[in-house]
């Protein structure tokens, strides 16, 4: 409509305007455009919006791909985690819930991930571990950390650097299996002194839910002490030991096997929670990127329309000025 009005105005003024005056006006207009171009008077705003839209689209593609990768890994690990629950549950039936046993030397094994972008599962494990540390603090007590995963290490090293006895990373670099975790469990048992091992991990419930959990493994000496005193483990004396092994040897083997099975389940449960949290985080990021893209598209259209309208007004104003 504006262009039609401009053509009519040009036809009406054509007999009154000489070719020389038109050339002079066009030359003056081009000089003004060249002076404004370096400062980006009109084109720079739409260019910035286009670049921002391109960046958001690329980020959205990455988050969608990461969500699909996490879903694929979750399906593979979830089956292993569900099967591993049958390894440590018999120990609970045999030894009961021994988390309330009071001991002097506590080793808190914090299980976390090596990678980020998975919500707050690592922060949750660290908070629970610090809470257990404070609960077991005392003049005659000692608590240390064994950290599995880079993310928990990065948080605990800030204010508990001297309390970290052992740090393990890149555990999930290869597919998890019991042999790999049992070797790790043996290294922990050989390098730390403990009365109780408190294993902190996130138990997988669903893609959007996980439960911070603590599992306790007592040393053979504490188990024997509790059984002899008739405490929580007093029922152990009702079992008969077959073979040539002594009670101390049986308890040592039982403790080592219990710790390796519990740690294996903890690592798998935490890996499932990690992938589920990553799926949720990447899904939220993809939706947020889509919303931002919609807002940027609307801003780009408004900016472009305003630029076109401004140019039309200036052309019409220039044509009207030539009549004077």
pLDDT over 90 for what percent of the chain? Answer: 47
89 Cα distance to chain centroid:
29
**How do residues 288-320 score in pLDDT, each as one tens digit?**
999 999 999 998 998 888 888 888 898 888 888
**How many CA atoms lie within 13 Å of 295's alpha carbon, on the beta-carbon side?**
8
Q: How much is the pLDDT for 297?
A: 93
Which of the residue ranges 25-39, 100-114, 274-288 would you say has the lowest mean pLDDT? Answer: 25-39
Model-level pTM?
Answer: 0.77
**How many CA atoms lie within 13 Å of 204's alpha carbon, on the beta-carbon side?**
27
- Could you tell me which residue, 144 or 5, shows the higher pLDDT? 144
**How many CA atoms lie within 13 Å of 171's alpha carbon, on the beta-carbon side?**
29
- Could you tell me which residue, 215 or 323, shows the higher pLDDT? 215
Q: How much is the pLDDT for 243?
A: 66
Q: How much is the pLDDT for 171?
A: 87
Q: How does residue 13 score in pLDDT terms, banded at 50, 70 and 90?
A: very low
> Residue 217 — φ and ψ, nearest 5°?
-125, 120
44 Cα distance to chain centroid:
36
Instruction: For the chain, list the domains and their CATH numbers.
Output: 86-234+247-271 (3.40.1380.10)
Bridge partners of residue 106, in order along the sequence: 143, 196
258: pLDDT strictly greater than 60: yes
Q: How much is the pLDDT for 47?
A: 86
Q: How does residue 140 score in pLDDT terms, banded at 50, 70 and 90?
A: confident
Rounded CA gap, 270 and 66, in Å? 18
Owner of token pair 């919006």: 49
Q: How does residue 142 score in pLDDT terms, banded at 50, 70 and 90?
A: very high
Rounded CA gap, 235 and 92, in Å? 13
Q: In a 3-state reduction of DSSP, which class is residue 166?
A: strand
Q: How much is the pLDDT for 247?
A: 73
Which of the residue ranges 56-65, 163-172, 246-255 would you say has the lowest mean pLDDT? Answer: 246-255
């Amino acid at each position: 409509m504006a262009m039609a009005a401009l053509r009519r105005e040009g036809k009406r003024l054509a007999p009154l305007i000489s070719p020389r005056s038109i050339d002079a006006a066009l030359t003056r207009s081009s000089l003004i455009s060249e002076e404004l171009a370096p400062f980006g008077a009109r084109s720079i705003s739409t260019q910035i919006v286009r670049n921002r839209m391109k960046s958001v689209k690329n980020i959205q593609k990455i988050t969608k791909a990461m969500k699909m990768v996490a879903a694929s890994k979750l399906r593979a690990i979830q089956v292993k985690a569900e099967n591993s629950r049958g390894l440590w549950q018999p120990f609970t039936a045999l030894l009961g819930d021994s988390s309330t046993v009071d001991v002097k030397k506590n080793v808190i094994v914090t299980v976390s991930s090596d990678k980020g972008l998975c919500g707050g599962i690592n922060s949750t494990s660290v908070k629970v571990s610090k809470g257990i540390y404070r609960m077991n603090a005392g003049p005659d007590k000692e608590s240390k950390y064994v950290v599995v995963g880079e993310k928990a290490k990065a948080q605990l090293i800030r204010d508990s650097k001297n309390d970290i006895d052992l740090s393990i990373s890149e555990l999930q670099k290869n597919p998890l299996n019991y042999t790999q975790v049992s070797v790790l469990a043996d290294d922990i048992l050989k390098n730390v002194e403990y009365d109780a091992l408190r294993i902190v991990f996130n138990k997988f419930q669903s893609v959007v839910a996980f439960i911070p959990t603590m599992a306790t493994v007592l040393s053979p000496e504490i188990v024997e002490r509790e059984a002899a005193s008739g405490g929580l483990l007093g029922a152990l004396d009702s079992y008969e030991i077959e073979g040539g092994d002594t009670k101390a040897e049986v308890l040592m083997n039982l403790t080592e096997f219990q710790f390796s099975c519990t740690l294996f389940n903890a690592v798998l449960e935490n890996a499932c929670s990690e992938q589920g949290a990553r799926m949720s985080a990447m899904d939220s990021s993809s939706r947020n990127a889509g919303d931002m893209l919609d807002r940027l598209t609307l801003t780009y259209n408004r900016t472009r329309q305003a630029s076109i309208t401004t140019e039309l007004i200036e052309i019409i104003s220039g044509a009207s000025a030539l009549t004077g």
